[in-house]
Amino acid sequence: MTKADRAEDDDVLYGGTWLTVRAMQRSNGQLPALSWYRALDGRELGAFRAAATNVENSWRARRPGIVRTARIPRSSQGLTQLRVTLPAAKPPHLRAMFLRDEQVMWLTHGFSTQKKILDLAEIELGDSIAADWLQQRSAS
Amino acid sequence: MRPTGEDVRTRRTYEEELLVGEVVETVSGLLESSQVQRKELASRLGVSPGRVSQMLSGSDNLTLRSLAAVGLALGVRFELHPVAIRDRAGTPAEHDPPAPDWLARLKRTATFQFRPLSRKPAQWRAPVRTFKPCENHEPAA
């Protein structure tokens, strides 16, 4: 188990029967996804858990055509976005970015946006968190 | 401890979003697996392509009737399998008796087997019925 993989209870944001969602930790100790998660209100938290369960069911059953997730072509780290609120829901849209490692979804960070198209700044932030995290993993 | 309003909102949103999400994901998956375009689904349903997009994006609550029609159009049946929530803390049903046993038996729901009505097997013949006079009665005059 690498340093970044170290099981800290605090970095688990969702524990399903098959899928776990965890927050990536930066080298400075920050967990941006965890900070975002802790700031969610009751409805947003319910939506986040529902989105994670939908993805869990899709991945486990190999159900194609997943709507809750979408590859981010502009991401240099190969990030995928998680649509916490469904695409056609009224704004603000809740989104998060992640890398998948088998049955673990590693979140870089989450955010709220009024637009359906992802901001380049959010993609760059996600890429920087993922790059930092991947570097820690490969170093240890 | 009595659940707070926040807990109830979280649980309720979870159930709503999960169900809507499962429908959207399953229909989307069926379209991809069966290589049916949205336009074709709209044609099968007799609605506009815009209406299909609404249905599949989760923007609009799909009625149960519409869902049954979508299922039929794609060759599947959406069955209702209520599952008892194990952890009821934080739900309005927290102090209710346990979920009834018959819920589990609904996992195997009865279905009616439709068969073509117009076609008869090649060797089919109308059954010939023979009647015997009943011995206990006097023959008709």
Dump pLDDT digits (tens) for B19-57.
Answer: 999 999 999 999 999 999 999 999 999 999 998 988 888
pLDDT tens column, B72-130:
999 999 998 898 988 888 788 989 999 999 998 888 778 787 876 666 666 666 667 76
Find the CB nearest B9 among A42, A68, A89: A42
Question: Is residue B94 assigned to a domain?
Answer: no
d(CA B86, CA A63): 26
CB contact under 8 A, A47 and B17: yes
Domain that holds residue B24: 5-81
Question: Is residue B28 assigned to a domain?
Answer: yes
Question: Is residue B50 assigned to a domain?
Answer: yes
pLDDT tens column, A4-46:
444 456 899 999 999 999 999 999 999 999 999 999 999 999 9
d(CA A130, CA A42): 28
CB A62 within 8 A of CB A47: no
pLDDT score, position B123 = 67
pLDDT, average across residues A53-79: 96
Question: Is residue B88 assigned to a domain?
Answer: no
pLDDT score, position A107 = 98
Q: Which residues of B touch A (CB under 8 A)?
A: 5-18, 20-22, 24-26, 28-33, 54, 56-60
Provide the b/e sequence for A66-79 (b: ≥16 CB within 10 Å).
bbbbeebeebebeb
CATH number at residue B10: 1.10.260.40
The ipTM assigned to this model is: 0.90
More confident residue, B133 or A3: B133
Fold assignment, A13-135:
YaeB-like fold (3.30.2310)
Q: Where are the domains of chain A?
A: 13-135
pLDDT score, position B87 = 85
pLDDT score, position B115 = 74
Q: Domain tally for chain B?
A: 1
Find the CB nearest B32 among A41, A51, A65: A65
- Could you tell me the pTM of the whole model? 0.84
pLDDT score, position A60 = 96
